[in-house]
Amino acid sequence: MKKQINSKYIIAIDAINVQRGGGVTYLVELLNNIIIEQHNFSKIYIWGSKSTLAKLKNTDWLLKKNHFLLNNNLFFRTIWQLFFLKINLNKYSCQILYVPGSLFVTNFRPVVTLSQNMLPFQSQEMFRFGISIMTLKLVCLKILQANSFKQANGLIFLTNFAKQTISTNINLRNKNTVVIPHGISKNFFVSSNNRITKLVYDFENPMNIIYVSIIDEYKHQINVLKAISLLRSQGYQINIKFVGPAYKPTLNRFIKYKNSVDPDHAFSEYVGTVNYDELPKHIFSSDVFLFASSCENLPNILLEGMASSIPILCSNMGPMPEILGDSGIYFDPLFPNSIAEAIKTSYLTPGLFRHLSNTSFEKANTYSWDKCTRDTFNFIESTYLNYKK
């Protein structure tokens, strides 16, 4: 039975490093799904940038706090964390701090943090950026995150893969840890019964593939293009749409290669960043969902693809097999020929692929924001109780 705290306590959230993308989505969903009666805290104070705080709902128990330093870059945000965070925590009588952005430098305790970024802890992935500012940044992040994880009173992982990988880099023996995966937005759930599956692909009905992700070194979009270019030269009718923001050096190489193999834009399209609310329609209008990343913690977009009942071609690296299980066709993202073989299999057996989309949809239903929120705040509470013993 869960031990009760005699009086209501106050939680603080340091969201100063939650700036965009999946991190903001996580924070919004986490706070939107709280059922306050299920927990023993009275209020939450949250510090973040104006843009992040504006996305959060307004309630009487969620108190949003901003400082001009928090609207600036990492250097200024770290200055605030060093010199102003603890003062504010004491001022508002906060009793436990949650840091979903992973990094903290305060000596306030107790602290719970969340591991979201795997790149700093996988050297082979980090050095895909070569000798660059990005590599230096990732090395620094590894040092800072490792220190935060070792100092934290509680540490949340998103997958067992992440826990095992980071545990080989950092001694987490006797550390209070838990695995709590993210949920999936209800906007992405569409039963396969409501999808029309093509039974054959030809010139008039090509296979339309979508790949949603940042254009980046460890996402291997160029290898995907190589695979599709190879298959088209063999007569397979395949189109692909790339959706997402970009790391500029990788984008430059990607566009250069794309223009060389598809100068008329006959089969490949780069859409760029789209509004999160518009993403489901891009996925629903496609025949196949492809994900070729070699480094992930818990890829939200893969979960969203599973919820969409769209057949999935997936990288066999990182946590992807843990998440997707036997509900997709796998390939090695480092080798275009492996990607091509997976695409060819799905092209020639659309009936089998339809069955896999049914099972991936069922697995997606196990990823709930309600459960994620409940488990997260239960863990924060248990960490607070253990610290007070």
pLDDT digits (tens, 9 = 90+) for 159-200: 999 999 999 989 888 889 999 999 998 889 887 666 667 778
305 in a domain, yes or no? yes
The full DSSP string for 233-293 is: HTT--EEEEEES-B-HHHHHHHHHHHHHH-TT-SSEEEEE---GGGHHHHHHT-SEEEE--
User: 2 in a domain, yes or no?
Assistant: no
Give yes or no: residues 64 and 152 share one domain.
Answer: yes
**Could you tell me the pTM of the whole model?**
0.90
Do 72 and 100 sit in the same domain of this protein? yes
For residue 2, the 8-state DSSP code is: P
Tokens for 71, please give them.
Answer: 């609207």
How is residue 284 written in tokens? 């629903």
Residues 325, 375, single domain; the answer is no
Cβ atoms 311, 283 nearer than 8 A:
no
Q: Which of 335, 282, 331, 289 minimizes the C-alpha distance to 310? A: 289
Q: Name the packing angle between helices 336-348 and 350-364 (round to 10°).
A: 100
Give the integer Cα–Cα distance in Å for 343 and 255: 22
Q: What is the DSSP letter of 15?
A: -
Does residue 296 belong to any structural domain of this protein? yes
Q: Are residues 30 and 174 in the same domain?
A: yes
Would you say residue 202 lies in a domain? Answer: yes
Which residues of the chain are modeled with pLDDT < 50?
A: 1-5
Per-residue CA distances from 320 to 88, 129, 157, 164 (Å): 40, 22, 15, 14
Q: Report the helix count and the strand count for the chain, using DSSP H and E.
A: 15, 13
Q: Are residues 357 and 380 in the same domain?
A: no
Counting Cβ atoms within 10 Å, is residue 317 exposed (0-12), middle (13-18) or buried (19+)?
buried
Looking at the domain assignment, is residue 114 inside a domain?
yes
Contact 293, 250 (CB under 8 A): no
113 vs 104: CA distance, rounded Å: 8
CA 209 to chain centre: 21
- Are 291 and 277 in contact by the 8 Å Cβ rule? The answer is no
Are 287 and 373 found together in one domain?
no
Does residue 49 share a domain with residue 28?
A: yes
CA distance 342 to 313: 7
CATH number at residue 295: 3.40.50.2000
Question: Which range of residues forms the domain containing residue 83?
Answer: 9-182+368-388
Candidates 286, 154, 105, 141; CA nearest to 207 is 286
**Whether residue 242 sits in one domain with residue 195:** yes
Question: Mean pLDDT score of the chain, rounded to an integer?
Answer: 91
Task: Give the tens place of pLDDT for each residue, 280-317.
Answer: 999 999 999 999 999 999 999 999 999 998 999 999 99
Question: Could you tell me if residue 230 is inside a domain?
Answer: yes
- pLDDT for res 192: 67
Are residues 160 and 132 located together in one domain of the fold?
A: yes
Q: Does 327 lie in the same domain as 239?
A: yes
CB 310 within 8 A of CB 288: yes
Domain count along the chain: 2
In a domain, 3, yes or no: no
Least Cα distance to 334 among 227, 209, 212, 213 occurs for 227
Answer whether residue 26 is part of any domain: yes
Same domain for 227 and 124: no
Q: Which residues pair with 44 in a beta bridge?
A: 11, 62
Q: Measure Cα distances from 123 to 85, 146, 295, 388 in Å.
A: 32, 14, 10, 38
Assess whether 383 and 350 both reside in one domain. no
